[in-house]
Amino acid sequence: MIEYKNDKIQEKYYVEVLENGLTVYLYPKKDFYKTYAIFSTKYGSQDIEFTPIDLENSINTPEGIAHFLEHKLFENEDGTDASTLFAKTGADVNAFTTANQTAYLFSATNSINDNIELLLDFVQEPCFKKASIDKERGIIEQELLMYLDQPQSVLYFGLLKSLYKKNNVRNEIGGSVESIKQINEELLYQCYHTFYHPKNMVFCVVGNFDKDELIELIKSNQSRKTFGEFKPITRKYYLEDEEVNEKHQFTEMDVSIPKVTVGVKIPYEKLTPYEILKKTIAIEILTDLYFDESADVYEKLMNSRVINNSFEYDVYFEETYRHIIFNLDTKNPEKFVESITKIVNKISKQDIDVEQFEIMKKLYQARNIKRFNSLEYIANLMVEFHQNDLAFFDLLKSVDELTIDDVLEARKYFSTNAMSSFTIYPSKK
């Protein structure tokens, strides 16, 4: 195993690439009772157009198939659910699908070795049968219909459909009732064998364990399994400029007051993984300078009642899609959209005070270091960084290296021409 150490936080982790290509990260935290493990494949809801491992030409798969596959892997060959096996050891098991990855995880305070084996085995032993696929389709249909009644989900994907014309990030992670009708046994196995090869996956464990004992356990588990030859995966993405699909869209739902979200679309440009990381941090710090609770602009917006305690903002700067989002529950959504538009325009032109920048940079780094007390944060970020070809401690390094010029350059991404909004109004009864 290779050891990586960070002197700033006095922590270290270990990495080993197994013979079958699986990358294993071990991050011992002896002062914790709990252990958290995550097994992830770089395969998400946006990966619907790709060349399968057994074909020469690209295929177009149904929206929602990555999420469907996540559900199906929990079913064992005898029809039982893998979660019942974890329950017997007292572990909490879960899974999630995003635009970029599908991940399976557990947290436990005992029987760690047993749970590690369970996690590796149920993900790597698929069993897809027509009858159970049809049954799962009905379950997921109900889940999708439920999401249509959840305002936050409708708001988020409504905005993405306003921002993007063709980029697959605009599609709901679970797909639609119509799209999942196209999913069958053959497609599931095709997607599984393409994306669930160990070389496209990462296994990360953080918590209280013996690293040498654990790596031997994982090696032994993997040595008992055979996998076909890995072929680099060709994926098709629709990379977009700053032109939005729709400027303003709205719908009506059963909400007490309107919900509104405003997005700023960032055009695609080819960047290295480390450049993406540094630009993400620069945009986040620039946004914090205006919208953090300590910022003057935030205080003015609160005092003038343009925003309230429901106000949130986030930055998404990924390899294939990039945007900034502002959310609010308000009786005056139009005023909020107008105010955010003015501030975005101001950000694009205004100079930044050096002292303010240094304060915000220190706050940003302090938050990062504080998060190292969370096993889940470490493991999930470690997986994300691995899948983006970054070293885990690059996070702290990139913040230390950040200059005011990096943040000033990030102003170019705040363009009022690249803005969209989506509003949910209360239903008229």
> Number of folded domains in the chain?
2
Alpha helices in 164-304 (DSSP H): 185-195, 211-223, 273-291, 296-303
pLDDT of residue 126: 92
Q: What is the pLDDT of residues 294-318, one digit of tens each?
A: 889 999 999 999 999 999 999 999 9
Burial string for 218-244 (b: 16+ CB within 10 Å, else e) reads: beebbeeeeeeeeeebebebbebebeb
Q: Clarify whether residues 172 and 30 are in a common domain.
A: yes
Last-in-domain residue among 208, 223, 238: 223
Angle between helix 273-291 and 354-370 (nearest 10): 110
Q: How confident is the model at residue 81 (pLDDT cuts 50, 70, 90)?
A: confident
Last-in-domain residue among 223, 240, 263: 223
pLDDT over 80 at 234, yes or no: yes
Last-in-domain residue among 206, 223, 240: 223
Specify whether 70 is catalytic.
yes
Backbone angles phi, psi at 322, to 5 degrees: -150, 130
Q: Clarify whether residues 262 and 198 are in a common domain.
A: no
- Between 132 and 50, name the one with better pLDDT: 50
Q: Clarify whether residues 45 and 143 are in a common domain.
A: yes
Per DSSP, the chain holds a count of helices (H) and strands (E) of: 14, 14
The mean pLDDT value for 141-157 works out to 92
Q: Does residue 278 fall inside a structural domain? A: yes
Q: Does residue 6 fall inside a structural domain? A: yes
Distance CA 195, CA 191 (A): 6
315 three-state secondary structure: strand
Q: Clarify whether residues 294 and 202 are in a common domain.
A: no
Closest CA to 222 of 203, 243, 247, 244: 203
Q: Does residue 252 fall inside a structural domain? A: yes
pLDDT of residue 123: 96
Beta pairing partners, 3: 14
CATH, residue 175: 3.30.830.10
Mean pLDDT, all residues of the chain = 95
Can you list the positions of beta strands (E) in 18-110? 23-28, 35-41, 49-50, 59-60, 92-97, 102-108
pLDDT of residue 130: 86
Q: Does residue 99 fall inside a structural domain? A: yes
pLDDT of residue 391: 94
Q: Does residue 231 fall inside a structural domain? A: no
pLDDT of residue 55: 86
345, 411 contact by CB (below 8 A)? no
Q: How confident is the model at residue 8 (pLDDT cuts 50, 70, 90)?
A: confident
Q: Clarify whether residues 23 and 126 are in a common domain.
A: yes
pLDDT of residue 347: 95
Q: Does residue 178 fall inside a structural domain? A: yes
Q: Clarify whether residues 176 and 287 are in a common domain.
A: no
Q: Clarify whether residues 306 and 376 are in a common domain.
A: yes
Structure tokens at 253: 């739902």
Structure tokens at 267: 């055009």
Q: Does residue 150 fall inside a structural domain? A: yes
Backbone angles phi, psi at 202, to 5 degrees: -140, 140
Which run of H or E residues covers position 201?
Answer: strand 201-207
Catalytic residue among 70, 75, 240, 284: 70
Q: Clarify whether residues 188 and 283 are in a common domain.
A: no
253 three-state secondary structure: strand
pLDDT over 90 at 147, yes or no: no
Q: Clarify whether residues 173 and 105 are in a common domain.
A: yes
Q: What is the per-residue DSSP string for 122-177?
A: HHHS----HHHHHHHHHHHHHHHHHHTT-HHHHHHHHHHHHH-SS-GGGS-TT--T
Q: What is the largest CA-CA distance in the chain?
A: 65
Percent of the chain topping pLDDT 70: 100
Q: Clarify whether residues 324 and 382 are in a common domain.
A: yes
Q: Clarify whether residues 294 and 154 are in a common domain.
A: no
Q: What angle do CA 88, 94, 97 make, to 5 degrees?
A: 160
Q: Clarify whether residues 176 and 253 are in a common domain.
A: no
Domain residues for 208? 2-223
160, 314 contact by CB (below 8 A)? no
Q: Does residue 228 fall inside a structural domain? A: no
pLDDT of residue 76: 84
Q: What angle do CA 25, 30, 35 make, to 5 degrees?
A: 55
Closest CA to 120 of 20, 14, 231: 20
Average the pLDDT over each of 144-153, 279-288, 383-392 and give the range with the smallest value.
144-153
pLDDT of residue 266: 98
